[in-house]
Amino acid sequence: MARTTFHYVTYIRTTPEKLWSALTEDAAFMKQYWFGVRCESEWRPGSSWKMVHADGSVSDAGEIVEAERPTRLVIRWRHQRNPELAAEGDSLCTMELEPSGSAVKLSIIHTIERDPSKLIAAVSGGWPKIISNLKSLLETGAIVLNDAGKK
């Protein structure tokens, strides 16, 4: 079967524990770098997962496939709002955290079993903005982008 994949790697000057917490547990921190969105889950394999916006709406939902604190997180991810993207079905988002000197290498691999994929095209525009904000917030205490829609 055909597959579409988005792969993003960055290095963040932090610890694996702090990065894991920022990605999963600290909703207030998450909302700062993710343009007001927070992800809700118990962060254990089999638990539900959803992206909740400031107005309470859910844009994406799924379940935690793997959660190996603080090194690996795999989420089964399905878009909810746009019918065309939702019709593509489930995607898989894998986050790997690997210590690298005084930094952590963060790899995000987002895949879907179809080619081409409008969902992967959409997330490939969002992930760099979100992760740039996360990196800046962890390293400097401030985000670099205030609006997800700006190019």
User: Is residue 2 very low, low, confident or very high in pLDDT (cuts 50, 70, 90)?
Assistant: confident
Residue 80 has what pLDDT? 96
Task: Please give the Cα distance from 84 to 54 (Å, whole number).
Answer: 23
In a domain, 133, yes or no: yes
147 found inside a domain: no
| Percentage of the chain exceeding pLDDT 90 | 95
Q: In the chain, how many domains are there?
A: 1
Q: How far apart are the first and last CA of the chain?
A: 33
Residue 151 resides in a domain: no
Give the mean model confidence (pLDDT) for residues 62-68: 98
pLDDT above 70: residue 150: no
For residue 82, what are the domain limits?
4-140
Return the HEC string of the chain. CCCEEEEEEEEECCCHHHHHHHHHCCHHHHHHHCCCCEEEECCCCCCEEEEECCCCCEEEEEEEEEEECCCEEEEEEEECCCHHHHCCCCEEEEEEEEEECCEEEEEEEEEECCCCCHHHHHHHHHHHHHHHHHHHHHHHCCCCCCCCCCC
| Percent of the chain whose predicted confidence (pLDDT) is above 70 | 97
Determine phi and psi for 98, rounding to 5 degrees.
Answer: -135, 120
The mean pLDDT of 49-77, rounded to a whole number, is 97
Within a domain: residue 18? Answer: yes
Residue 147 — pLDDT band, cuts 50, 70, 90?
Answer: confident
What is the mean pLDDT of the segment spanning 65-94?
Answer: 97
Integer Cα distance of 75 and 82 in angstroms: 19
Confirm whether 8 is domain-assigned. Answer: yes
Report residue 125's pLDDT band, with 50, 70 and 90 as the boundaries. very high
Residues 4-25: what's their mean pLDDT? 97
Q: Answer whether residue 107 is part of any domain.
A: yes
Q: Do 23 and 73 contact (CB within 8 A), yes or no?
A: yes
CA separation (Å) from 23 to 2, 15, 82? 29, 12, 24
The reported pLDDT for the residue numbered 1 is 64
Taking residues 112-122, what's their average pLDDT?
96
Residue 105 lies in a domain: yes
The pLDDT, as a whole number, for residue 39 is: 96
User: Does any domain span residue 134?
Assistant: yes
- Give me the pLDDT at residue 151, please: 53
Mean of pLDDT over the chain: 95
